Amino acid sequence: MDPIPNITIRFATTNDRPAIAALLLESFVEYGPLYTPEGFAATAITSEQIIARMSEGPVWVAARGEEIVGTVSVVAKAESLYIRGMAVLPTARGERIGALLLTHVETFARAEEFSRLFLSTTPFLDRAIRLYESFGYRRTLEGPHELFGTPLFSMEKLLSGTNE
């Protein structure tokens, strides 16, 4: 994938927590009525919850200069890497930032010799689902099937050329 002008991907720092929390809220607020209140709270996590996420695995941000315009995090689950908390600011959508973040995660997964990437998403995040499918992710029957009452389904991508 060609570099996107003025966008850099870097590890998030604890100083980024407020910006990541604000980004998650802004990215998902338009879908808020489709979530249960508890499901929304588990999706648009707080600055304090981001600290816990950072302790569980890498968190990256996509930045345009000093502005954080996207984020994604991962956590290892045996030979698989679980993708979570991926979001792009609504004002930056359509600029291929989500694709850049997914490419970054896949490069990391291959370097660390994970054999599979997987994620859970809600059926109403159409743009995200189309992006995942364009990257070769396919729906699975694997759970979870809900997040505090909000429907979910899982998607996976098997990585070739890794220890399978």
Q: Which residues of the chain have pLDDT under 70?
A: 1-5, 161-164
Asked if residue 164 is part of any domain, the answer here is: no
Domain CATH code at residue 130:
3.40.630.30
Asked if residue 117 is part of any domain, the answer here is: yes
pLDDT of residue 160: 80
Asked if residue 96 is part of any domain, the answer here is: yes
Asked if residue 59 is part of any domain, the answer here is: yes
The amino acid sitting at 164 is E
Q: Could you give the count of Cα atoms lying within 13 Å of 23 in the half-sphere of its Cβ? A: 25
Asked if residue 2 is part of any domain, the answer here is: no
Asked if residue 99 is part of any domain, the answer here is: yes
Asked if residue 32 is part of any domain, the answer here is: yes
Asked if residue 48 is part of any domain, the answer here is: yes
Give the domain range for residue 37: 7-158
In 3D space, the residue among 116, 13, 114 whose CA is nearest the CA of residue 61 turns out to be 13
The amino acid sitting at 61 is V
Number of domains within the chain: 1
